[in-house]
Structure formats: C-alpha cells, structure tokens
Amino acid sequence: MLRDVTAVRYVTPLTAGGSVPGVVEADDLGTYVVKFTGSAQGHKALVAEIIVGELARALGLRFPELVLVHFDPAVGGHEPHQEVQDLLRASAGLNLGMDYLPGAKDFTPEVARTFPVDPLEAGKVVWLDALTVNVDRTVHSSNLMVWPTLGVAPPRLWLIDHGAALVFHHRWDASAPEKAYDFRNHALGGHGPDTRAADAELAPRVTGELLRSVLAQVPDAWLAEEPGFTGPDAVREAYAAYLLARVRASAAWLPTDFPSREQLAAEDADRAERTQRGRPDWLKRVPDLHGKPAAEQDWSVHLG
C-alpha cells in the first residue's frame, strides 16, 4: 500500500504542468512533487497516476515512489500567486505525491538524439502506454526523465505523469478494449521499440491478481463518486476487467510501425510550412510556437 505522509513545507509550484503540481517537503524528511485534488483534472487524473505508475513498477519499469500526502493549505500560506492559493485551499486533505528526483532532466528531443535507449526497454514503455491508452508521451511532451545526471550510476529513463492515461474511464461505455491508438509520435518511437518482445514478456504478467493488488492502492474516496457503480470495489473490478480484456486483445492494438526521426522531422517541417502558407502576411512575421518542444527543465532549480 502507498505510504501516508504529511506536508510540512510548501516549496514552490511547478507552473510547467497544466495541473500546477507543487514541490512539498513532508514529515518523513522526503521531498515530493504533489498533484492536488483541487486541480481541474480532478480525482481521475490521480487514479490514473496510481494505476499506471504502480503497474509500471510491477512490470520492472523505473517509476518514482508514490505517497499519499495529507495537506493543510496553511502550509502554503506564503505562496504569493492567487490562483495557486485557490488550488491549495481546494486541496485540503489527501493528495498524491511523487518522489522528487533532484537534478533529473526532461527527455527532450535534443536529449533523445544522444541518449541510448535499449529497444526492449523502449518497447516496454510503448507497450505499457498502449495498454493503458496513455495519450501523453509524445516527442513534444515525453513525460520521461533522465536521472541521475550526476553520481556513480549511469543515467536511466524514469517514467512520470500518467494522469492523461486510462481515457476509457471518462466514458466507460464508449471504449472497446481492442481499439488501436496512433503512437506514431511516441517519445521513444525513434529508438526502435521492440514491442513484440515486450508483449511476449509483459502480457502474461498482467493478471487479475496483479491488477487487483495495484487497484487496492487507490483510496476509496477517489473512487466513491464514480457514477453508475455501487461503490469503490465495483469501480476497481471495472478497471481490472477492462485492462484484462485489453491485454488479451494486444494483437489488435500492438504498435509496431514507427517513423524514423528523420521522417518525423520532415513531417513537422511540412506542417510548419503549410501553416505558414495559410497565414496572412502580417501574421507570417509572428513566430509559430505551436508544436515546438518545451525547454529542458531541471527539477533541481525549483528548490533554489
């Protein structure tokens, strides 16, 4: 089960994320990136974080420890931004924290050009994303970190941020388990992901027992208000049933064809050119910032 900690110091918001998570120090002397229940994404994003993150860990992928964070908004009373204060006040009680990785770097396209990724590891990440319908691990928003950048161990890929996964839980009756998804722009598509080998290794390990052990870590309160279900346990069974059906249908959705980095670059250049041609003359002088990767972010700078 996830450990419980209590926030004792609110350090800083991370405004690069749409949900505005915050760096928080806790009573166990740990530092965590906390996603708050008061954010616009609500409880479902936190449920997805736990299910996908803990499933990734169970399958041997690197994922920071998750904890349940008890948060008193008074801890962040010094925060000067009104919108952040509103978020903190709306998040009193239980929230979700992810172990802070000091010095970790975003896996940007620039980093990807020189960082070696084993094809089987890449295949496992793609396979997990396809299984859990994670639409937010693209070349422009990888939700992958390289850590440590300093130290005795070589840098490794770490998975973060799965709040946009499990899209089926937004409309339970509208998603077929065998539905395929477009992973052409996956962040690891240019690293030759061996998804067939990943499927052969991982699919047999995703059992009902494993899924129920993962789902048991989701707090009842975050499942209790799901409409159309009799209670949290019924919701857990629905997640388990859907993911089991999906893993058994992997032959229908398994991504196997990824464009090269050169092809993706050519597609981006063509898209930018077509966008520029369609602009009026006065707008052509304005830089097109859409679709460009975010600047590399060093988490350590947020701790001052």
pLDDT at 290 exceeding the cut of 50: no
> CA-to-CA distance for 81 and 116, rounded, in angstroms?
40
Q: Tell me the percentage of the chain whose pLDDT exceeds 90.
A: 71
In the block, tokens 């789902």 appear at 215
**Beta carbons of 124 and 59 less than 8 angstroms apart:** yes
pLDDT reported for residue 90: 96
pLDDT at 38 exceeding the cut of 90: yes
> CA-to-CA distance for 36 and 93, rounded, in angstroms?
10
Domain boundary assignment for the chain:
3-102, 105-253
Average pLDDT, the chain: 89
Q: pLDDT digits over 94-144, tens only?
A: 999 999 999 899 999 999 989 999 999 999 999 999 999 999 999 889 999
Q: pLDDT digits over 178-227, tens only?
A: 998 888 889 999 899 999 999 999 999 999 999 999 999 999 999 998 99
The residue that leads in pLDDT, 270 or 95, is 95
> CA-to-CA distance for 1 and 183, rounded, in angstroms?
32
pLDDT at 4 exceeding the cut of 50: yes
**Beta carbons of 67 and 106 less than 8 angstroms apart:** no
pLDDT at 295 exceeding the cut of 70: no
Per-residue confidence band for 266, with pLDDT thresholds at 50, 70 and 90: confident
Q: How large is the average pLDDT for residues 30-44?
A: 94
Per-residue confidence band for 267, with pLDDT thresholds at 50, 70 and 90: confident
pLDDT reported for residue 279: 67
> CA-to-CA distance for 241 and 187, rounded, in angstroms?
28
Sign of the torsion formed by the C-alpha atoms of 130, 179, 237 and 248: negative
Q: Tell me the percentage of the chain whose pLDDT exceeds 70.
A: 89
Looking at the chain, the number of H-run helices and the number of E-run strands are 9, 8
pLDDT reported for residue 19: 84
Q: How far is CA 277 from CA 239, 288, 293, in A?
A: 46, 12, 22
Q: pLDDT digits over 206-216, tens only?
A: 999 999 999 99
**Beta carbons of 144 and 187 less than 8 angstroms apart:** yes
Give Cβ neighbours of residue 239 (< 8 Å, ≥ 6 apart). 51, 166, 169, 211, 215
The residue that leads in pLDDT, 79 or 210, is 210
The residue that leads in pLDDT, 258 or 230, is 230
**Beta carbons of 63 and 3 less than 8 angstroms apart:** no
pLDDT at 291 exceeding the cut of 60: no
Q: How large is the average pLDDT for residues 238-257?
A: 95
pLDDT reported for residue 282: 60
